[in-house]
């Protein structure tokens, strides 16, 4: 073989882009630009007029996206240059497109986007809960809390009319009823039980339970229905003279963390994963009210995101790194991959709901980054716009990447990626 050449085989799982899998001879220092030119030439040859318009592809070698000249990538992965190298190609994820910027009166610390009706919930340091359309219109602003609103969640992202929950540093959670016809919302239940501020909230897949975690280090489980586990109506637990919504108390309090619970995620209707500033991740059995599994990290966890597609957990830490954990791992390290690009603390992270490889992160460096798990050393894109710390990112609705921060703004990016093509 020519010392300056490598033998490669181009492969894809996207049948509409399949070309010959016969070995091809390419320069050793071939990169993604040259590979794209080669592949587009082959597509025109094999597919004809339909592929006159060039498309952009990414290339995988050893299950990692090619970001270096091929010869350097092979050396880094200790792959022999004497054998034919399999190069898998996938249509490139296009850059998200800036869409809108929503100005708030104070820092934005909580965001959750619905799928039905395309509404965005935000929680703010001015104690407000806000509902916006994805077109940038403020629907309503609610001021029932007496301190920072740290997190917000729709009970059912497909049906905003099912209501939503907000949690605050005033130590309460509020369940809200949303009226789509009048674009109004009213508090229907107040959750009381935490001794200090609440930082995180999650809704079970069947929407029957809510989990909250906060500065008192306790994980609390609540019922979304009219009754708790004993059948006692919530109204009977109301405090005061009836002014304001009835008060509900938790059905379970789970103790085990030593510092703030910064994130809680339902894995299924009976399991919760929490991440804490005490450097630990815990998986809880809500039926037995005990810890099923635990992992210890290197730094305080500031946020986490569970993927139903991969059954793995992404964490944002008090350092520059995003980490991927497999809590089920029986052998080797529980932390499987570290993603490094932020230059300050990473504050928030969110998996894509439709693509097992994609996620978004935000940090104190004012950066929002779109990642592919097959490229741990560099994000796919940096999404510019924030002029202060990014406190929360969300990608619940596949069409919109949303971020909020200390510049009092929520930025909306339109996702142009077509799901289901990979």
pLDDT tens digits for 223-281? 998 655 444 444 444 444 456 899 999 999 999 999 999 999 999 999 999 999 999 99
Report the percentage of the chain scoring pLDDT > 70. Answer: 92
Spatial separation of the C-alpha atoms in residues 322 and 74, rounded to whole Å? 25
Q: What is the pLDDT of residue 4?
A: 82
> Which CA distances in Å does 194 have to 121, 172, 180, 222, 259?
23, 7, 31, 12, 14
pLDDT band at 92 (very low <50, low <70, confident <90, very high): very high
What are the backbone dihedrals phi and psi of residue 114, each rounded to the nearest 5 degrees, phi first? -80, 160
> Which CA distances in Å does 143 have to 40, 133, 190, 350, 363?
56, 19, 14, 27, 27
Q: For the chain, which domains are there? A: 5-91 (3.10.20.90), 97-414 (2.130.10.10)
pLDDT tens digits for 153-209? 999 999 999 999 999 999 999 999 999 889 899 999 999 999 999 999 999 999 999
pLDDT tens digits for 331-383? 667 899 999 999 999 999 999 999 999 999 999 999 999 999 999 999 999 99
pLDDT band at 210 (very low <50, low <70, confident <90, very high): very high
Specify the pTM.
0.91
What are the backbone dihedrals phi and psi of residue 322, each rounded to the nearest 5 degrees, phi first? -105, 135
């Amino acid at each position: 073989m020519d010392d300056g050449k490598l033998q490669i085989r181009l492969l894809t799982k996207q049948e509409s882009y399949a070309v010959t899998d016969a070995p091809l001879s390419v320069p050793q220092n071939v990169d993604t630009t040259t590979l794209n030119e080669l592949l587009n030439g082959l597509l025109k040859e094999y597919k004809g007029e339909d592929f006159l318009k060039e498309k952009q592809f990414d290339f995988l070698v050893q299950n990692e996206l090619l970001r270096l000249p091929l010869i350097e990538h092979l050396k880094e992965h200790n792959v022999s240059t004497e054998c034919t190298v399999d190069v898998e190609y996938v249509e490139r994820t296009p850059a998200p497109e800036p869409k809108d910027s929503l100005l708030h009166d104070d820092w934005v610390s909580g965001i959750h986007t619905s799928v039905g009706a395309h509404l965005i919930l935000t929680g703010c340091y001015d104690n407000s809960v806000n509902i916006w359309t994805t077109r940038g219109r403020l629907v309503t602003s609610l001021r029932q809390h007496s301190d920072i609103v740290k997190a917000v969640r729709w009970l059912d992202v497909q049906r905003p009319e099912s209501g939503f929950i907000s949690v605050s540093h005033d130590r309460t959670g509020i369940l809200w009823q949303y009226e789509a016809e009048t674009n109004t919302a009213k508090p229907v239940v107040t959750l009381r039980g935490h001794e200090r501020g609440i930082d995180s909230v999650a809704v079970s897949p069947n929407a029957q339970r809510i989990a909250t975690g906060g500065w008192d280090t306790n994980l609390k489980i609540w019922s979304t229905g009219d009754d708790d586990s004993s059948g006692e109506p919530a109204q009977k637990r109301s405090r005061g003279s009836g002014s304001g919504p009835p008060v509900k108390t938790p059905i379970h309090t789970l103790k085990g963390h030593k510092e703030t619970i910064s994130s809680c995620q339902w894995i299924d209707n009976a399991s919760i994963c929490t991440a804490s500033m005490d450097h630990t991740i815990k998986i809880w059995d809500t039926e037995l009210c005990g810890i099923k599994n635990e992992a210890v990290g290197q730094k305080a966890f500031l946020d986490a995101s569970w993927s139903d597609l991969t059954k793995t957990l992404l964490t944002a830490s008090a350092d520059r790194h995003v980490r991927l954990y497999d809590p089920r791992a029986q052998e080797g390290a529980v932390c499987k991959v570290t993603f490094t690009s932020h230059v300050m603390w990473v504050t928030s992270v969110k998996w894509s709901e439709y693509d097992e490889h994609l996620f978004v992160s935000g940090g104190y460096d004012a950066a929002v980054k779109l990642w592919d798990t097959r490229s741990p050393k560099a994000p796919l894109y940096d999404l510019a716009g924030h002029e202060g710390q990014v406190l929360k990112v969300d990608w619940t609705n596949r069409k919109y990447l949303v971020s909020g921060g200390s510049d009092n703004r929520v930025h909306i990016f339109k996702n142009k990626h077509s799901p289901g093509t990979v």
